Amino acid sequence: MLDVPLWLWAAFAVTVVVSLTVDLLAHREAHVIGFKEAAAWSGVWVGLALVFGAVVFLVLGATPGVEYTTAWLLEKSLSVDNLFVFALIFAYFRVPRAYQHRVLFFGVMGALVFRGVFLAAGVAVVSRFTAVLFAFAAVLFYSTYKILKEEEDSFDPGRSIAVRLLRKVAPVRDEYAGMRFFVKEAGKRVATPLLAVVAAIEAADLVFAVDSVPAVLAVSDDAFIVYTSNAFAILGLRALYFLLAGLLDRFHYLSKGLALILSFIGVKLILQASHKLFSSSIPEIPSPIGLAVIVTVLTVSVVLSIRRPRPTTVEGTLPAAQDENGVTPGPAGEQPPTQETRETGDPPQGS
């Protein structure tokens, strides 16, 4: 384990808290986030991640610096799958575009907490039971198989465990009430669909953690490296979603690239475990090589996607169409928010 000075942990915590506070204040008013605004915020989050990586490099050394950068880039690339699910959830619940950033903000807050718990548990297990790395490798190989065979598990936001638990705990009304999560109806406190959307986002992140946690633990088993890299990757998810939401379907080779990355990380885990358990003569894959492979695969995937576009758009891959009110279409039979709710952000009279 690295000997991380306390001030570096404190600097990380302050950076995250200040960044989230500034982000929340900058988006306190509901509005549709355009491409330019999303690009600017994406630049901010990427810049913060790289600056922090430079600090890690200077304070902890070259190897931790490379591990941090590799883990951050790996998590960033794996999070692309999250963006497709975000689009699916927003379409299912017919979330107005002006409210989507608030949903993702609280989704990120929850992800920071849950990822911290999972990563801490993963680091503790790996430090005591090296053989668990073989199980992690098996998870990554299975994920690779599902991607290549296009057998990704379907995700039904309305039937996720988090949403079902929410509906058991509190009644959920049919219409949005601006950016509020609760309103009073007939003297009773009821949840708005916006809270159900946050629950669905959190449930989706728990599903994706099954892949990302074993993958990042293949890069490093140090708690500081794995958590800070994950945190900075997660912080930039919202801006990345608004930046790429309309473009994701064009990068059709990216999923194949991610499958290749996962299989490579799986091999890295097996070699790492074998080196520790069986023989020191079994080689491990150095972090610089891992970083080079990830960068190369991602670059080639994006370039191929641009140079060899799909002949036709695959229906249903990314529900990006929206009406004049900025509402994504939902399942047939569901009623959209009322015109009054959309225009004023307030619930109908009597709510």
Provide the pLDDT for residue 263.
92
Mean per-residue pLDDT, 43-68: 95
Residue 62 pLDDT greater than 90, yes or no: yes
Per-residue CA distances from 95 to 110, 197, 238 (Å): 19, 8, 15
Residue with more model confidence, 245 or 277: 277
Residue 266 pLDDT greater than 60, yes or no: yes
Provide the pLDDT for residue 335.
43
pLDDT band at 330 (very low <50, low <70, confident <90, very high): very low
| 100-146 confidence digits (pLDDT tens) | 888 888 888 888 898 889 899 988 888 888 899 999 899 889 888 88
Residue 260 pLDDT greater than 80, yes or no: yes
pLDDT band at 63 (very low <50, low <70, confident <90, very high): very high
Spatial distance between the Cα atoms of 181 and 196, rounded to a whole number of angstroms: 9
Query: Which runs of E-coded beta strand occur in the chain?
Result: 182-185, 188-191
Residue with more model confidence, 191 or 311: 191
Mean per-residue pLDDT, 56-77: 93
Spatial distance between the Cα atoms of 347 and 300, rounded to a whole number of angstroms: 49
Phi/psi-derived region of residue 29, left when phi > 0, alpha when psi is between -120 and 50, beta in every other case: beta
Provide the pLDDT for residue 208.
79
Provide the pLDDT for residue 274.
94
Tell me if 265 sits within 8 A of 285, measured CB to CB: no
| 149-164 confidence digits (pLDDT tens) | 875 555 667 777 778 8
Residue 325 pLDDT greater than 70, yes or no: no
